[in-house]
Amino acid sequence: MNNIVLNKFKAYFDLTKFRLSMTVVFSSCFGFGLASTHINYLDLLIFGTCAFFVTAGANIINQVKEVELDKLMDRTVNRPLPSGRLTKKEAIIFGAIVSISALLILLFKFNWQASLLSLISLILYGFVYTPLKRVGPIAVAVGALPGAFPPMIGWLASSGHFGLEPGILFAIQFFWQFPHFWAIAWVLDDDYAKAGFKLLPSSGGKNLNSAIQITIYTLFLLPLCWVPYYLNMTGINSGFIALVCGILFLVQTLHLMRQRSKKAALQLMFGSFLYLPIVQIAYLMDKL
C-alpha cells in the first residue's frame, strides 16, 4: 500500500515538471524582490508557491493535450500520462485544483493585476502555444509571451502597478526566450519531428538561416541590459555584468552559426540556462 501511495505521489510530482516550474518561480520571485522596498519573506514564500502552482497548471494542460504526441517521443514517453501512471481525469482534476487555488490566492492576498496576468499566461501556454507547436515557429513567439510574464507578475504582485519597470523585465526575458527555445529545438529536432513539432525559425530546420535568426534575437539583449540601470531599478555594476553575459551569449550563437552542429546548440542551450539567473541575481543584488 505504501508503495502504491508513493508511486502515485511521484506521478503527481512529475506532472508538475518541478525543475522547469522552479525556474519560473525563480524569475517570478526576482521580479517580486526587485519591486520591493522591504521584502516580506512570508509574502515571498506565498507568492512563490502560487507561481509554482500556476506554472504546474499550465504544464498539466500541455501534457493532457499532448498525451498522444508524448507517446511518440523518447524524451516524453515516460511522463505520467503516456506511461499510464496517471489518467487524464486525475491530471485534469489536479491541474484545476492547483491552478484555481493559486489564482484565487494571488487575487485576494496580492492583487487582481497579478492574478489576471497569471491567468492569461496559463491560457496562452496551455491553449494557444501548445497546439501551435505543430504549426510552425510562430509557436515560439506565442510561447515567449507567457514565458516572459513571470518577472512582470512578480513586480505586479509586490507593487500593484504597471509601468516601464515591469515592461523592461518582460522585454529582457522575452528576447532571451528565442535563443533559449531554438537551441533546445535544435538539440531535440529529431525527436520533435516524430510528433510533428516545427519550432526552428527556418523551414530548412538546422541550417544557417536558423542560426542567424537566433543571433539576431540575442543581439537585442545587449542594449536592453542597461535599461534597468537607467530606470533606477538597480545599479551600474549589474549593467556591466549583464553586458558581459550578453556578449558571451552572443559569442555562443556565432559559434552555432559557424558550426551548425548539435554540440554547438547544446552549448548554447546550457549558456541560455546560465544567462538569465546570473543576470537576474546581479540586478537584484545590485539593488539591495
Q: What is the pLDDT of residues 104-136, one digit of tens each?
A: 999 999 999 999 999 999 999 999 999 999 998
Q: Which three cell numbers stand for residue 10?
A: 511521484
CA distance 15 to 275: 27
CA-based angle 242:30:42, to the nearest 5? 155
CA distance 26 to 48: 8
**Residue the block writes with cell 553575459:** 245
Q: Count of CB atoms within 10 A of residue 209's CB?
A: 14
CA distance 67 to 79: 9
Residue-level pLDDT at 174: 97
pTM of the entire predicted model = 0.93
Residue-level pLDDT at 202: 86
CA distance 220 to 49: 32
Contact assessment for residue 38 and residue 101, using Cβ atoms and an 8 Å cutoff: no
Contact assessment for residue 15 and residue 63, using Cβ atoms and an 8 Å cutoff: yes
Element (H, E) at 8: helix 2-15
C-alpha distances (whole Å) from 261 to each of 91, 206, 253, 273 are 37, 8, 11, 19
Residue-level pLDDT at 112: 96
Q: What are phi and psi of 199, to 5 degrees?
A: -110, -20
Q: For every one of its 288 residues, what pLDDT tens digit does the chain have, with 9 covering 90 and above?
A: 577 788 899 999 999 999 999 999 999 999 999 998 888 999 999 999 999 999 999 999 999 999 999 999 999 999 999 999 999 999 999 999 999 999 999 999 999 999 999 999 999 999 999 999 999 889 999 999 999 999 999 999 999 888 999 999 999 999 999 999 999 999 999 999 999 898 999 887 899 999 999 999 999 999 999 999 999 999 999 999 999 999 999 999 999 999 999 999 999 999 999 999 999 999 999 987
Residue 198 backbone class (left: φ over 0; alpha: ψ -120 to 50; beta: rest): beta
Q: Which three cell numbers stand for residue 88?
A: 487524464
CA distance 182 to 160: 33
**Residue the block writes with cell 496551455:** 126
CA distance 36 to 111: 15
Residue 255 backbone class (left: φ over 0; alpha: ψ -120 to 50; beta: rest): alpha
Q: What is the pLDDT of residues 168-199, one digit of tens each?
A: 999 999 999 999 999 999 999 999 999 989 89
Residue partners of 287: CB distance under 8 A and separation at least 6: 34, 233, 234, 235, 238
Residue-level pLDDT at 1: 59
